[in-house]
Amino acid sequence: MSAPQWMDARNILCVRLDSMGDVLMCTPAMRALRQARPGRTLTLLGSASGTALAPHLGDVDAVITYAAPWMKAGASHPPSADSDFVGQLAERHFDAAVVFTSFSQSALPAALMCYMAGIPLRLGHCRENPYRMLSHWVVDDEPGAQIRHEVQRQRDLVASVGCRSGDARLRFALRAHDLMAVRRMLEERGIRRGRPWILMHPGASAASRRYPPERWADVIGALSRRTGCPIVLTGDAHEAALIDGIRAGCGVATHSLAGQLGLGELGAAIRLATVVVSNNTGPAHIAAALGTPLATLYALTNPQHTPWQVESRLLYHDVPCRFCYKSVCPEGHHDCLAKVAPATVVDAVCSLMGTTRHYRASSAGP
C-alpha cells in the first residue's frame, strides 16, 4: 500500500497505551495527522492514565480506554476480554491506525489487534519485518543508531506517510472553570493574582524517578528563605503522606493541594505558577505544553523525555549506569538524583524566576 492512501483516511485510531506524559508527547504528531486532511477524526486508544487527558486534547475527538495486557501497567483479564475488545474496535470501522511506541516497546501486539479488527492501514515502528501486521512501517534503529526525543520520534513516524505540521508544541487545553477554581484556592491561601509563587510536584510513578523527600524539604526551606515566594505542593491523594512529610521537614510555611485537584485544575495550577519544580513525570510535560518555566529533577533512567520547547533547567548527577530504563534503581543508590545538591535546585529555580530581589519586591505588592 502506498502512503497516498493515508490522505483518504478519515477515521484514524491513535494507539498510545502507556502513561499521560507519553500521550502528551504524541500531541504534535496527532495534530499533524488531523491537519493532513480536512474532516479527519482521531480516536485515542490508551490506558486510563492517558485517556484522562480527553478534555484537554483539542485534536482528539474520542477516546477508548484499554488496559493492554502486554503493557507494564496493564490489567489481568481473560483472553476472551481481548477478543471481545477486538470486535468492538471492528465495529468502529477505522480507516487507519497509528501505533505510537517508545523504542523500548514493540508495536506488534497492538498492530495484531488492529489487523484482527480489520483496520486496513496500520503504521508503526518495528525492528523486524512485521509483514502483514503493519501495512506501513518505519525501521526502528533506536537506541543503536540514534536516540531522538520522544516528540520527534512520533512526528517522524507520521511524516513517513505524508502527515506533517510546522507546529511542534505539546497540547494541553485549559478550561475556564478550572482556572477560576484554582485562582480561588490560591486566594484562600493568601496568594493573590500577580504574586509570584512556586509549584512543586514531588511524586512520580516510578521509584527511580523520585528526588528523595529529605532533599525536597531542604530545597523548599532554602528556596522560601531566598525568594520569599509562596510554595505550593501538588500530588495525587495517595501522595498526601509523602507531601505531609516533606512539609513537616522543611521548616517553613508551605501550602498543599495534594488530592484536591482534578487533572484540569492541576493544569490550571501549573499554568498560573511562576515556576514548576518536578520530577520527570506527567506534570512536567503539562508544564511544557503550557509554557510554564520548569526545573526538572531528571533521573537518568532514559534520555528521550526531557522538557520539550519550554524554558527549563535539567537537574541530574551523571552516573556510569545512566539510561538504565528501569523503574527501580538497579544499583540501589539513586545517585543520579540523590546527589543533586539542593543548592543547585534553588539556583536553577531562581535563574528561571529572575533575580531574587525582583521577586521579593513583587511579592510585597497587593
pLDDT average, residue stretch 51-65: 96
Identify the residue whose cell numbers are 515502528.
125
pLDDT at 20: 94
Count CB atoms within 10 A of the CB of residue 216: 26
State phi, psi for 44 to the nearest 5 degrees.
-90, 125
Count CB atoms within 10 A of the CB of residue 115: 19
Count CB atoms within 10 A of the CB of residue 59: 21
In tens, the pLDDT along 117-162 reads 999 999 999 999 999 999 999 999 998 888 999 999 999 999 999 9
Domains and CATH numbers, the chain: 4-159 (3.40.50.2000), 176-363 (3.40.50.2000)
pLDDT average, residue stretch 54-78: 90
- Split at pLDDT 50, 70, 90, the class of 75 is confident
Which residue pairs, CB below 8 angstroms and at least 24 apart, start in 255-259? 255/189, 255/191, 255/230, 255/231, 256/232, 257/185, 257/232, 257/233, 258/233, 258/234, 259/235
pLDDT at 32: 97
In tens, the pLDDT along 251-297 reads 999 999 999 999 999 999 999 999 999 998 999 999 999 999 999 99
Q: How far is CA 337 from the centre of its chain?
A: 19
Count CB atoms within 10 A of the CB of residue 358: 12
Q: Is the peptide bond before 69 cis (omega within 30 degrees of 0)?
A: no
What CA–CA distances, in Å, run from 46 to 9, 101, 196? 21, 12, 36
Higher pLDDT, 335 or 359: 335
- Split at pLDDT 50, 70, 90, the class of 248 is very high
In this predicted structure, the answer to whether residue 84 has a pLDDT above a threshold of 80 is yes
Under a CB-based contact definition with an 8 Å cutoff, are residues 275 and 294 in contact?
yes
The length of the chain is 366
pLDDT average, residue stretch 95-105: 96
Mean pLDDT rounded to a whole number for the chain = 91
In this predicted structure, the answer to whether residue 170 has a pLDDT above a threshold of 80 is yes
pLDDT at 2: 46
pLDDT average, residue stretch 327-333: 75
- pTM score, two decimals? 0.91
In this predicted structure, the answer to whether residue 362 has a pLDDT above a threshold of 80 is no
What CA–CA distances, in Å, run from 344 to 115, 268, 295? 51, 27, 10
In this predicted structure, the answer to whether residue 365 has a pLDDT above a threshold of 70 is no
pLDDT average, residue stretch 14-25: 96
Q: Which residues contact 136 (CB under 8 A, 6 or more apart)?
A: 1, 3, 6, 121, 122, 123, 160, 161
Written as nine digits, the cell of 119 is 483496520
Q: Which of 90-94, 247-251, 295-299 has the lowest mean pLDDT?
A: 295-299
CA distance 277 to 284: 8
- Split at pLDDT 50, 70, 90, the class of 366 is very low
Under a CB-based contact definition with an 8 Å cutoff, are residues 173 and 57 in contact?
yes
Helix (H, G, I), strand (E, B) or coil at 298: coil
In this predicted structure, the answer to whether residue 357 has a pLDDT above a threshold of 70 is no
pLDDT at 358: 41
- Split at pLDDT 50, 70, 90, the class of 1 is very low
CA distance 343 to 172: 32
